[in-house]
């Protein structure tokens, strides 16, 4: 307040100088009354420059002091009361995509790519991790394969492999470097024991009918092609001949993001804290009450701040990965009576998976495949120089704590290394050099993706629950979701079997080749 009083006193002093003629006027020629009865100059008033500069400098200094004092009194000294946060999302958007991983950005790209009319559709992608240090996309093993048991998964991966093979035809940006996924085209090698060999044969027939290039190997053929493998206990093997291997996950995510933003998609780093929705009550023939909801706006909480922005929107895409189930509960999904439609939750939760980086100078060479042992242990080559990554999914009763991404190194000693060294004897001399952990968006119902609109939320679409194969299928899933939104139906691939309906009817689509 003292600063304000000094400021007003200086202004009154300056006015007094004009009134009593104390300023040095050198070019005044005429005074005229203005509309309010005061006096104005007909020609420019030239005053003493030194006095005017002193006043302006003092005014500037007092304003700076007031700004600093106000800022120091607030919870965060970085917040300035006279500045608008440039990172706030827009107040309105046509489509809000929650989740800025590879799935979210793929959907954003395909929405803009398929936009038919004015090219004015406003798409907003909200991501809560600006560093992507905990994003499931970049923490994955980066594999792609067609060796699944369900036709939907095989077709999704075939379409995605074709997209990646021609990625610069889709995601190149003018005056930017071409996309390099660092794709290693080495097939997956699945090993089967006597107990499950018949299932591998069934899967092989399904894969071949769907157009996948896969070959069955006997233990002798495996030994001839990969002499470093111990084939003890192996009854049959399945090897991908093309469109399989591994790539850099960050390169794919960033390529989708760069292209989508060049097409006008808006990026916002924040966390969705709530939804505003309206409700319409319907009654079934049996007298059951059904609450149909429509989301009107999304509340985006800015990171490390008390600020938030409500974003009015026409529809929402839930691509929040491992946390999509939690996001769905904000609209009341799964919170109704257990015997009602509203009682069916989105069965997706985070499951932590460890990835270990090991060094073994005498390990498999450049022809090494992405090997999946029937014990569940896997490994693949990581660059050159005898480096590999490996891991295994834990048993249901041994699922690790998901409150953090800490790595359990004893798990490698007990569960990974013994089985790995048994299959590849050279790995008896390996050394762990680093490790990390990431989350699967694990579908507890049937370990398969959920794609489509929720039956009780008429403007929320889902693309989640892929349980470890979302990265490799993201190009095709993004297009499928865009087709549902803009065309009202699947056009390229019929993925209706992966809708929310199967959860309501309790008809799981079990995928047998989960890594």
Q: Predicted confidence band at 282 (pLDDT cuts at 50, 70, 90)?
A: confident
Q: Predicted confidence band at 43 (pLDDT cuts at 50, 70, 90)?
A: very low
Q: What percent of the chain has pLDDT over 70?
A: 86
pLDDT at residue 202 tops 80: yes
**Higher pLDDT, residue 338 or 415:** 415
Structure token digits, residue 378 = 């896997």
The average confidence (pLDDT) of the chain is: 88
From the candidate CATH numbers 3.50.50.60, 3.40.50.970, 3.40.50.2300, 3.20.20.140, the one assigned to the domain spanning 85-183+242-347+444-514:
3.50.50.60
What per-residue confidence (pLDDT) applies to 22?
Answer: 40
The residues, ordered by sequence, that sit 6+ positions from 488 with a Cβ below 8 Å of its Cβ are none
Q: For 183-192, what is the mean pLDDT?
A: 95
Q: What is the biggest distance separating any 2 CA atoms in the chain, rounded to whole angstroms? A: 110
Domain with CATH 3.50.50.60 in the chain: 85-183+242-347+444-514
Within 13 Å, how many C-alpha atoms sit on residue 296's CB side?
A: 4
Question: How much of the chain is helix, strand and coil, in % rounded to 5?
Answer: 35, 25, 40
What tens digit of pLDDT does each residue of 51-62 get? 556 767 887 788
| 112-121 LR contacts (CB < 8 Å, sep 24+) | 112/260, 112/263, 112/264, 112/265, 113/170, 113/263, 113/482, 114/479, 114/482, 114/483, 114/486, 114/487, 115/486, 116/486, 119/264, 121/94, 121/95
Q: Predicted confidence band at 45 (pLDDT cuts at 50, 70, 90)?
A: very low
The DSSP code for 61 is: H
Q: For 18-43, what is the mean pLDDT?
A: 41
Roughly what angle, to the nearest 10 degrees, separates helices 102-114 and 249-262?
30
Domain with CATH 3.30.9.10 in the chain: 352-439
What tens digit of pLDDT does each residue of 296-306 get? 999 999 998 89
Separation between Cα atoms, residue 110 and residue 30, nearest integer Å: 69
Residue 140: CB atoms within 10 Å: 22
Separation between Cα atoms, residue 137 and residue 135, nearest integer Å: 5
Indicate whether this model's pTM tops 0.85: no
Q: Across 24-101, where does the E strand assignment appear?
A: 31-33, 39-41, 95-98
The CATH superfamily label for domain 352-439 reads: D-Amino Acid Oxidase, subunit A, domain 2 (3.30.9.10)
């Amino acid at each position: 307040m003292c600063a304000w009083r000094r400021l007003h006193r200086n202004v009154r002093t300056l006015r007094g100088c004009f009134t009593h003629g104390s300023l040095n006027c050198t070019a005044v020629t005429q005074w005229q009354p203005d509309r309010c009865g005061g006096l104005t100059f007909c020609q420019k008033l030239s005053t003493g420059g030194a006095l005017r500069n002193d006043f302006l400098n003092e005014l500037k200094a007092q304003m700076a002091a007031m700004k600093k004092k106000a800022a120091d009194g607030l919870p965060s000294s970085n917040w300035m009361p006279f500045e608008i946060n440039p990172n706030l999302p827009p107040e309105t958007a046509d489509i809000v995509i929650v989740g800025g991983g590879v799935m979210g950005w793929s959907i954003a790209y395909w929405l803009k790519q398929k936009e038919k009319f004015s090219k004015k559709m406003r798409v907003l992608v909200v991501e809560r991790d600006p560093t992507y240090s905990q994003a499931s996309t970049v923490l994955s093993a980066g594999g792609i394969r067609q060796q699944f048991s369900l036709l939907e998964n095989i077709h999704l991966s075939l379409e995605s492999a074709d997209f990646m093979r021609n990625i610069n035809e889709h995601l190149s940006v003018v005056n930017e470097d071409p996309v390099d996924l660092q794709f290693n085209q080495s097939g997956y090698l699945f090993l089967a024991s006597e107990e499950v060999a018949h299932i591998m044969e069934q899967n092989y027939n399904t894969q071949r009918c769907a157009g996948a290039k896969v070959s069955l190997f006997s233990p002798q053929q495996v030994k001839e092609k990969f002499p470093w493998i111990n084939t003890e206990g192996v009854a049959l093997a399945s090897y991908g001949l093309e469109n399989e291997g591994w790539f850099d996950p960050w390169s794919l995510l960033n390529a989708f993001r760069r292209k989508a933003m060049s097409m006008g998609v808006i990026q916002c780093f924040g966390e969705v804290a709530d939804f505003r929705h309206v409700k319409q009550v319907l009654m079934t023939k049996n007298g059951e009450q059904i609450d149909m909801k429509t989301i009107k706006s999304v509340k985006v909480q800015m990171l490390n701040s008390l600020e938030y922005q409500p974003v009015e929107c026409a529809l929402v895409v839930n691509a929040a990965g491992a946390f999509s189930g939690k996001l769905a509960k904000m609209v009341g999904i799964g919170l109704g009576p257990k015997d009602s439609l509203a009682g069916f939750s989105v069965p997706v939760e985070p499951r932590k998976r460890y990835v270990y980086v090991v060094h073994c100078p005498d390990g498999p060479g450049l022809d090494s495949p992405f090997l999946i042992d029937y014990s569940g242990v896997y490994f693949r080559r990581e660059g050159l120089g005898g480096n590999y990554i490996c891991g295994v999914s834990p048993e249901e009763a041994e699922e690790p704590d998901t409150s953090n991404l800490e790595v359990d190194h004893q798990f490698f000693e007990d569960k990974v290394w013994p089985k790995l060294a048994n299959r590849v004897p050279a790995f008896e001399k390996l050394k762990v050099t680093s490790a990390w952990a990431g989350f699967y968006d694990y579908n507890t119902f049937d370990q398969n993706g959920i794609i489509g609109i929720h039956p009780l939320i008429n403007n929320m679409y889902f693309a989640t629950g892929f349980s470890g194969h979302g990265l490799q299928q993201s190009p095709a899933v993004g297009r499928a979701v865009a087709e549902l939104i803009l065309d009202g139906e699947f056009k390229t691939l019929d993925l209706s079997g992966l809708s929310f309906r199967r959860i309501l009817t309790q008809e799981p689509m079990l995928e047998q080749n989960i890594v």
